[in-house]
Amino acid sequence: MKVVQINTSCGVGSTGKICVGISQALEEQGIENCILYSALSNGYENGISCSNGKYVKLQALKSRVLGNYGFNSRMATRKMIAELERIQPDIVHLHNIHGHDCNLEMLFTYFKKKKTKLVWTFHDCWAFTGYCTYFTMTKCSQWKQQCEKCLQRKDYSCFFDKSQKLFAQKKQLFKGLDLTIVTPSQWLADLVKESFLKDYPVYVINNGIDLAVFRPRNSVFRRRYDLEDKKLVLGVSFLWDKRKGTDVFSSLAQRLPADYQIVLVGTDGQVDRQLPDNIISIHRTQNQQELAEIYSTADVFINPTREENYPTVNMESLACGTPVLTFRTGGSPEILDTTCGSVVDCDDIDAMEKEIIRICTDKPYSKEACVQRAKAFDKNERFKEYVELYERINVAGTERN
């Protein structure tokens, strides 16, 4: 069996790391595989570049001007197809292919011609919308029937609203494939079943984390920031905006008692200007071990995300022994059970404030219970699920032939 994964990146970012993890699991089984990617790579030996950063930026500009998001990048797609022709894989596994990485019409026409067995992991909702990756905040449900007059068009196109055309093109191109869809959350799986992709099989394979890295650790973080007598409320993201709840933390900073300290990790100068002075802002950590040390010392981890699939930060916090409080958004609540955290309705800041105080005061969730829950998120076990899925699909295809 030969497996080719296609993604924006290789070993860089969340999806790039997932690709490498799956590749390594395949290597352990002696299964030939590679990763076709656009530009970003950590140098992983099984990665094959089909583009470069300059080319991707040019395609992004074309997309913004023409409004035809997903239908540029012809040269990169020809390179992908040439590699697929050379390798002749038994299974092609798609991940994120909407970073101006490929031309959908060219790629999926090729898949249909070759009758390629496809696995496609949806890391967001883009595959079944005209433009957007999420639509929760805009409360849009057009994707169930026909996208048009896109409420988020300005995020994708400077001049033209081609959401109706793009939706129709995707719907036609994604018809008649030998396709198995994977989603990291049940929330997203349920959305797929309401979309034009509803007739394809959908499997839920949760994302995972490295439990050797994310575990309870000794930390000098409190002493470094003079927080030894404070209740530490932590938030972590690497793209802070309203979707991730920056404004929620600003509001909580004005509400919580003086012995509570909010710490945000992953900020930058622009975010700092939006935050009140009593929030500690950390632009970056040196490595994942340092991040694990920060998780380990917090009293509670807050995730006021308004649009989400299956957030890694929730899992990381639990693995370090810190309970999680999240909005009832996307797949974020699925990570928790009654032993390790709680959920409040989206945008209910009153309820979130009360829960923070309850968790920090009553301590209903023990470190041991959080760590126990996190054992379900071992990335190696999740990667094995993908290998098992490939094997089932490959055997089924062989039997049909």
Torsion over CA of 346, 349, 355 and 357, rounded to 10 degrees? 160
Binned at pLDDT 50, 70 and 90, residue 398 comes out as low
Of residues 128, 129, 131, the one with CA closest to residue 160: 131
pLDDT band per the 50, 70, 90 thresholds, residue 399: very low
Neighbour count for residue 254 (Cβ, 10 Å) = 8
- Is pLDDT above 50 for 401? no
The 10s digit of each residue's pLDDT in 127-168 is 999 999 999 999 999 999 999 999 999 999 999 999 999 999
What order of strands is seen across the sheet that includes strand 32-41? 47-49, 32-41, 2-10, 91-94, 117-121, 178-183, 202-204
- How far does CA 51 lie from the centroid of its chain? 22
Q: Mind giving me the DSSP string for 296-349?
A: HH-SEEEE--SS-SS-HHHHHHHHTT--EEEES-TTGGGG--TTTEEEE-TT-H
Length of the chain: 401
The 10s digit of each residue's pLDDT in 21-39 is: 999 999 999 999 999 999 8
Decide if 7 contacts 35 (C-beta within 8 A): yes
Contact 84, 109 (CB under 8 A): no
